[in-house]
Amino acid sequence: MWTRKLKIKGMTCAGCASGIEKKINAFDGVKIVVSYVEGIGWLTVSGSMAIETLVGIIKEKGYQVTELEFDNNVGSDPVSISKQGRQLHVAIIGTGSAAFACAIKAVENAAKVTLIERNSIIGGTCVNIGCVPSKIMIRAAHIVHLQKNHHFRGIKKIQPIIDRKRLLTQQQARVDELRAAKYESILENNPNINLVKGDARFKNVNTLIVESGGGDKVEIKADRFLIATGASASIPAIQGLSGTPYWTSTEALQSEQLPEHLIVIGSSIIALELAQAYLRLGSKVTLLARHSLLYREDSDIGSELYNILVNEGMTILEHTQTETVSYKKGFFASGKFSVKTTNGSVLKGDQLLIATGRVPNTDSLEVEKAGIKLDKTGRIIIDDHMLTNVEHIYAAGDCTDQPQFVYVAAAGGTRAAINMTGGDVVLDLTTMPAVMFTDPQMATVGLTENQAKQKHINIDSRLLSLENVPRALANFETQGFVKLVIEGSTRRLIGAQILAPDAGEMIQTAALAIRHQMTIEELAGQLFPYLTMVEAIKLCAQTFNKDVKELSCCAG
């Protein structure tokens, strides 16, 4: 008996895979399992049929077939495990987006899954304390802002009455609803996914120890492992901070109270989203930025957003660090924070938000017992197949050295499952869009001017103010811009940076243009619907060859 792993190209649907299986499995002593998604076939022969004959039969159906390297003696591949009369067992640490994406795909590929969660609720950061509640809060704050500050003269502006407690109740109800629909129901309806509660750590390369809150321990052995433990708020070593009732993003999203004066330490996505939301809901907000705003992004974004937020009423102290923090309970329960800065000022506020990044949840895993390598910040090092340096241990999401976005985590979890069940797929992040949900939103994809120059790419770029975009003019919202970066020699689009009310909805157009290696002329020649914000990308593309101020409003 022998087994071969085949790469099969040319399949266009799941029916192609079924057709190959029907044809090949008709022979005595021959068994093939084909996955259309992975483009992989596992061929097992117990008789005298030659592999060349079977491959030829598949090729006759119009497919390209390549034999992949595969060690029949390993005994831990999906086919070997199937021959032993048992399912491939996948153990997943965590229950967030990466974990569930992996679990669902692994079960689809005939594995059984054990999910391990140390918290009382499942679902990870995004649905519980991240993406979902923050966007609900940001949307509520946007409605408040429009009521007070819209630009339509015939509509009376009002000062809305805000009941933060009722807003929070509605927010958490939607969180509970989505967690039930997207996580809890999957567990309830899938007998091949089992949940174990407790803290997991590696005993060795093949075994986990899971300890419950009551001290009970259970050992879990598996054929494949996925580490998807996420990340937590990074707390800087500021003198006096420890022991004070400061907020992280979790507390900021779950507070029933609106602070009179919120001090925010941080200058990136989470800090800016929450700072603007609280400002619009009625808090005075002072933000301390160690560098400039969004200093890792294109400098035009940070400088423009700085002006927008300051004009809304936010106090922003750039190039300012915190030396000490103290907290003194006042006559009322809220108390007061004092923040001494490096520029000599002392800020007083009734709440302090620490939003200085997130660190991976890997400290308690004892990964060294499995030989798993981490980088200097504690992130798990993985390749584009989501594989660690250990051949059967994978990782995905915010605990890895990949970008901390939920859609990256979910995509990584799915690909990890495919690869651990016999497939061969990669996660390509070269055209990964990033979005920040301030107002206006920031969205980017590809290379900035500086990044391209560091790669020694000859570039050209254009920046188009929203004052030149008809939809922005119609909305009376012209703060922001679209910036496109192209490779000078090929004229291909290689980067886009957008600051606009609907930037998150616009950026995928640029991402697809980069993915398909479109030239700026090809992009400028596409049909874009009018009046839309995404038309700004077309207009910006046109500026590489003409002055858009001289075009009619919807010129092609």
Is domain 249-356 annotated with CATH 3.90.1560.10?
no
Average pLDDT over residues 344-366: 96
Contact of 412 with 402, CB cutoff 8 Å: yes
Rounded to the nearest integer, the mean pLDDT of the chain is 93
Q: Residue 248 has what pLDDT? A: 98
Concatenated DSSP letters of 483-532: EEEEETTT-BEEEEEEEETTHHHHHHHHHHHHHTT-BHHHHHTS---SS-
Q: What are phi and psi of 381, to 5 degrees?
A: -85, 125
- Total count of residues recorded for the chain: 556
**CATH match for 89-123+173-233+360-420 among 3.40.50.720, 3.40.1210.10, 3.30.70.580, 3.50.50.60:** 3.50.50.60
Per-residue burial over 327-353, b = 16 or more CB atoms within 10 Å of its CB, e = otherwise:
beeeeeeeeebbbbbeeeeebebbbbb
Q: Where is pLDDT greater, at 112 or 67?
A: 112
Class of CATH domain 2-72: alpha beta
Cα-only R_g, the chain = 27
Over residues 201-237, the pLDDT tens digits come to 999 999 999 998 888 899 999 999 999 999 999 999 9
Is 70 exceeded by the pLDDT of residue 332? Answer: no
Measure the CA dihedral 449/451/457/463, to 10°: -10
What is the pLDDT at residue 554? 66
Q: Among all residues, which ones are annotated catalytic?
A: 11, 13, 16, 63, 126, 131, 553-554
The set of residues, in sequence order, having a beta carbon less than 8 Å from that of 95 and lying 6+ positions away, is 115, 117, 122, 123, 124, 183, 195
Boundaries of every domain in the chain: 2-72, 89-123+173-233+360-420, 249-356, 434-550
Q: Is there a shared CATH topology between the 89-123+173-233+360-420 domain and the 249-356 domain?
A: yes
Instruction: Compare 531 and 80 and report the one with higher pLDDT.
Output: 531
Which residues are registered as beta bridge partners of 218? Answer: 210
Residue 340 CA: distances (Å) to CA of 65, 289, 391: 67, 14, 50
**Can the peptide bond before residue 440 be classed as cis, meaning omega within 30 degrees of 0?**
yes
CA 504/CA 483 separation, integer angstroms: 14
**H-helix or E-strand spanning residue 10:** none
Class (C level, CATH) for 434-550: alpha beta
Q: What is the pLDDT of residues 470-500, one digit of tens each?
A: 999 999 999 999 999 999 999 999 999 999 9
Per-residue pLDDT tens over the stretch 35-49:
766 788 888 888 778
* 107-121, 146-160, 320-334, 440-454: range with lowest mean pLDDT: 320-334
Taking CA 516 as the corner, what is the angle to CA 105 and CA 423, rounded to the nearest 5 degrees?
25
72 pLDDT exceeds 50?
A: no
Assess whether pLDDT exceeds 50 at residue 295: yes
**Res 350: pLDDT:** 93
CA distance 428 to 415: 11
Residues 55, 58: Cα–Cα separation, whole Å: 5
Task: Provide CB contacts within 8 A for 7, sequence distance 6+.
Answer: 39, 40, 65, 66, 67, 68, 424
pLDDT digits (tens, 9 = 90+) for 252-271: 999 999 999 999 999 999 99
**DSSP per-residue letters across 66-90:** EEEP--TTS--SHHHHHHTTS--EE
Q: Which amino acid is at 532?
A: T
* Residue 246 contacts residue 326 (beta carbons within 8 Å): no
**Of 28 and 310, which is predicted with more confidence?**
310
